[in-house]
Chains A and B, each alone.
Chain A
Amino acid sequence: MNYIEGFRDPAVAKGIRSKVDALAGSLLARNRPVNIMEVCGSHTMAIARYGIRDILPSTVNLISGPGCPVCVTPTRYIDAAITLVERGIIVVTFGDMILVPGSASTLAECRARGGAVEVAYSPTRAIELAVANPDREVVFLAIGFETTTAPVISIVEHAIRLGLKNVSLLTAFKLVPPALTALLADPEIRIDAFLCPAHVSAIIGADAYKPFAETYKVPCVVAGFEPLDILYGVQGILEQMTQGKAEVVNQYARVVKAQGNLQAQALMAKYLEPVDAAWRGIGVLPKSGLGLRPEYAAYDAELKYGVTVELGAENPACACGEVLKGKQKPPECSLFGTACTPDHPVGPCMVSTEGTCSAYFKYLR
């Protein structure tokens, strides 16, 4: 089947819209809007790109949670990466990291000054560079949610197999479920349902959301990235709410399994262990990240080069923290669109094309 057009059929979209309208109508008696949080940068982008907020009834709010791994990366992490570049180390990174502001500079500025910052589509680029430059040190910026963790950690597996000693990882891996727990526990945020991430769920499995449905009575629907996936996901959530249910429903079964990707999980468990992690804007959450196990310390750039990553100074006016938690919408931030734009981002939500502020600026301004 055609995997692009099939999920973008205007006639089907119209059908789902009228169902969503009817369901939202029957929930009017609640006297407060339905707050649905999406926790996936690609959902945030697709919602903006297809104008989905524009067509939902005014009583259905889509709130963008901490779904972009670049956005939740702390300032000091960027500072540490810049320190490594300044020491002559080749730093390899996914593209959208290079514009993220550290406390004084960005990796893009660092590169313009002559620093070795390599933008890569694939983590294996770090291995290629380490092989091609035996007299140089290579560090991969190992950030991301469960989705990208396994491919990134395979750098260590390749390095061991090839006997490479000049490649290591600066880790800031994050885990989605602990962040959701923290959001549900925050009394200031009233989340009625989660539109669960697509790629992350492919790794951790739909069953990972069961505790939220059972303990917090919050409907969880796993949805894909296509506009129809998202509309259908909203419909699924509203159906559960009208029936007073709170279950995990996997609408993205073409990719996501209940148990997830066991091979990726095994690879992660072999090299990594849960650690407390700093989330930009949210703070330190217990066991919400992954770090290298002690036996692989030789591949840990933090230990190898004595750099430290911790929570650093942030612009006090920047509301990224509130935006990530879904407490504020981007235009409510005093910096939005003036001091903070995609060309001159202050906070990380404006940096990544998947960031909530960037998506608002780009599509909804």
Chain B
Amino acid sequence: MSEQFIQLGHGGGGLLSRDLIQREIVSRFGDGALKGLPDGATLPVPSSRLMVFTTDSFVVQPLEFPGGTIGDLAVHGTVNDLAVCGAIPRWLSLALILEEGLPFTTLRRVLDSVKRAADECGVSVVTGDTKVVERGQCDGMYVNTAGIGEHMDGFTLDPNRVVPGDHVLVSGPVGDHGMAVLAAREGIRITHGVSSDTGPVHRLVQAIREYAPDIKFMRDPTRGGLAAVLNEVVENRGMGILLNESDVPFSTGAKAAAELLGVDLLQVASEGRMILIGDAAISEVVLKAWRSLPEGREAARIGIVTETRGRVVLETITGGRRLVDVPRGELLPRIC
């Protein structure tokens, strides 16, 4: 194949489109339900099972960053949403919006990372779509994935079940993904570089399945980070959360980048971590199960549910306390 860049014709439905789909999509994902390129995937859903269905769109810049690409991110994002709903991820859709002029080499690297991530997570890409837009109408490429998973018996996740005294656990250092992307975007090079934590959490969920009845809440802290998730739990409820700063795991690289950019890591996205709130009695066994997996090695208990209505409070390393607020939105660089 001679083309080096995506052209508008690759999305036009003609020969170029067919060529692109055959060479890049079918070659990687064409074994299962995608075989023969039907208009939709026909899936063997087990009877009497609850199914979980979710979708997410990915517009990250740059497309490739330390630790990942928009491709594995798009798989992990959807797989993790299914996992924290208490489901075993099964099937994914993959929709690509490509910008005219995108190098084929970039597209191939991204699709390879989709394939690798999907295989690692045990999910199949069973349907998809590709469109091409004119130069300037999107930033290289956008990706949407939707996912279907099988709900596991025993999980009744509901923040209304959370009560004072419950423990708050996290599966590993938080904020690495957001800092890696921000540092890459700003061209900041740090000696102990920060790498995205993008990765799946489904094994972490399956590893604690036997404690499901005492698990009340699970979430992956993406946009808005730990702060956004925990505030959502206590909002309009008669309880609060007290975090202990010394117990919250952060990586050295993320800390350095956050100091440099003036960003609060509690508000920064992770893409391979999960937060769990459950009965105090299971926190030690959950941590033990998590720590036996590579992705849960640095899991920690970071706080406790309190009776302080609607507040997430951090006990800082000085012993003082402060409010952990919901992030406002755009992370703006400070002047000094």
Chain A residues in contact with chain B, CB under 8 A?
A: 4, 8-10, 13-14, 17, 41-42, 48-55, 69-70, 94-99, 119-121, 143-145, 147-148, 199, 227-228, 231, 342-343, 352-354, 361-365
Contact = CB atoms under 8 A, between A and B. Distances in A.
Interface of B: 186, 246, 255-256, 259, 261-262, 264, 314-323, 325, 328, 332-336
A342 B328 contact: yes
Given A49-B264, A121-B186, A342-B328, A55 B320 contact: yes
Given A53-B320, A55-B320, A363-B323, A69 B335 contact: yes
A49 B336 contact: no
Contacts of B316: 49-51, 227
Q: Which 5 A-B pairs have the closest CB atoms?
A: A51-B320, A95-B332, A54-B320, A95-B333, A363-B322
A48 B314 CA distance: 11
A94 B328 CA distance: 18
Nearest to B329: A343
14 contacts: A13-B319, A14-B319, A42-B336, A51-B314, A51-B318, A55-B319, A69-B335, A94-B335, A96-B334, A119-B332, A144-B335, A352-B335, A354-B335, A354-B336
B317 A8 contact: yes
B336 A69 contact: yes
Given A4-B256, A343-B328, A363-B322, A50 B335 contact: no
Contacts of B336: 41-42, 69, 144-145, 147-148, 199, 354
Nearest to A55: B320
B335 A362 contact: no
A160 B223 CA distance: 43
Contacts of A353: 262, 332, 334
A361 B325 CA distance: 9
B226 to A, nearest CB: 15
A352 B336 CA distance: 11
B320 A52 contact: yes
B319 A364 contact: no
A97 to B, nearest CB: 8
Contact of A148 (B259, B320, B321, B335): B335
Nearest to B246: A10
Contacts of B328: 342-343
A71 to B, nearest CB: 10
B331 to A, nearest CB: 8
Contacts of A49: 264, 316, 322
A13 B245 CA distance: 14
A172 to B, nearest CB: 12
Contacts of A17: 318-319
B246 to A, nearest CB: 6
Contact of B323 (A41, A199, A364): A364
A343 B327 CA distance: 10
B256 A50 contact: no
B325 A363 contact: yes
Nearest to A69: B335
Contacts of A120: 333
A10 B333 contact: no
Nearest to B324: A363
Contacts of A361: 325
A209 to B, nearest CB: 19
A98 B322 contact: no
Nearest to A200: B336
A13 B325 contact: no
B319 A354 contact: no
Contacts of A199: 336
A55 B332 contact: no
A223 B54 CA distance: 51
A49 B263 CA distance: 11
A70 B262 CA distance: 15
Nearest to A67: B336
A135 B186 CA distance: 26
B315 to A, nearest CB: 8
A94 B255 CA distance: 22
Contacts of A342: 328
B321 A352 contact: no
Contacts of B335: 69-70, 94-97, 143-144, 148, 352, 354
B323 A10 contact: no
Give the residue among A48, A51, A94 with the most B Cβ atoms within 10 A: A51
B332 A96 contact: yes
Given A8-B317, A54-B322, 16 more contacts: A10-B246, A14-B319, A41-B336, A49-B322, A50-B316, A51-B316, A53-B320, A70-B335, A94-B334, A97-B335, A119-B332, A121-B261, A227-B316, A353-B262, A362-B323, A365-B325
Give the residue among A52, A69, A199, A353 with the most B Cβ atoms within 10 A: A353
A119 B316 CA distance: 31
A52 B319 CA distance: 8
Contacts of A51: 314-316, 318-322
Nearest to A48: B322
A352 B334 CA distance: 8
A280 to B, nearest CB: 15
A353 B267 CA distance: 14
A161 B329 CA distance: 39
Contacts of A365: 323, 325
Nearest to B332: A95
Give the residue among B246, B256, B323 with the most A Cβ atoms within 10 A: B323
Contacts of A147: 336
B333 A94 contact: yes
A365 B315 CA distance: 15
Given A94-B333, A121-B186, A227 B318 contact: yes
A364 B332 contact: no
A225 to B, nearest CB: 9
Give the residue among B256, B261, B262, B315 with the most A Cβ atoms within 10 A: B262
A272 B334 CA distance: 24
Give the residue among B261, B322, B333 with the most A Cβ atoms within 10 A: B322
A98 B329 CA distance: 14
A362 B325 contact: yes
